[in-house]
Amino acid sequence: LLKQHLQNTQSSDQRLDDFLSAIQVSPNGVLLLDANGQIEWCNATAAEHFGLDAKADVSQHIGNLVRDPVFAAYLSEGDFTHDVKIAGKNNSHARPCRLAVQIHPYGLGRKLLLSNDITAVELSELMRRDFVANVSHEIRTPLTVLSGFVESLQTWPVNDLERDEYLGLMAQQANRME
C-alpha cells in the first residue's frame, strides 16, 4: 500500500509539473490569487506583463503591485464579467505596451487573472482608422471639385470652350480619384 501510495503521489506530482510547464509557456499571463487577492503563483508572461518577480512577489497583494487606476477600480468593483485595458509595465511613448486583463473567480474566493498583450491589435486598428480617414479625405477632395463642376454645368449657361475646360478638369479629378 505504501509503495502504491508513493507511485500515485509521484504520478500526481508529475502531472502537476506538466500542467505548470504548459501554463508557463503560455503567451498569456496567468496569475493565481487567493481569496485575499494575494499572488499564489504566476507564469513568466504575467511576470513580464506586470513587472513582477515570480518568486519574490508571491503572497503580495496584486493591488499593491499593479498600480494602474483602471485596474484598481476593476479590482475593487468586483464585476469581472468584462476585461479592462491597461498599460503594461514596460509601456512608453516610444514603445507602447497595452494589456487586456480579466479576472475569473473560482473555488472559494480564489481568482484566476489572465493578461493578454493587445499592443499589436491596437496599433493595427489605429493604422486601419488612419488609412480609412486618409482614403476618405483623398476621395472627398476631388469629389467636391467634380460636384462643383457638375452643378455649374447644370445651372449656368456656358459656352463650348468653358464646357470643354470644365470637362477636362472633371476628367483630371476623376483620374485622381481612380
Asked if 75 and 103 count as a contact pair (C-beta separation under 8 A), the reply is: yes
Dihedral (CA of 65, 67, 70, 73) sign? positive
Identify the residue with better confidence: 28 or 169.
28
Please tell me the predicted confidence (pLDDT) of residue 150: 86
Average pLDDT of the chain is 90
- 50-89 pLDDT tens trace: 999 999 999 999 999 999 999 999 999 999 999 999 999 8
> In angstroms, what CA-CA distances link 27 with 23, 44, 113, 115, 117?
9, 9, 14, 9, 9
* pLDDT exceeds 90 at position 93: no
Please tell me the predicted confidence (pLDDT) of residue 83: 96
Q: How many Å apart are CA 3 and CA 7, to the nearest integer?
A: 6
Q: How many Å apart are CA 7 and CA 34, to the nearest integer?
A: 30
pLDDT band at residue 117 using 50, 70 and 90 as cut-offs = very high
Nearest-CA neighbor of 102 among 123, 116, 121?
116
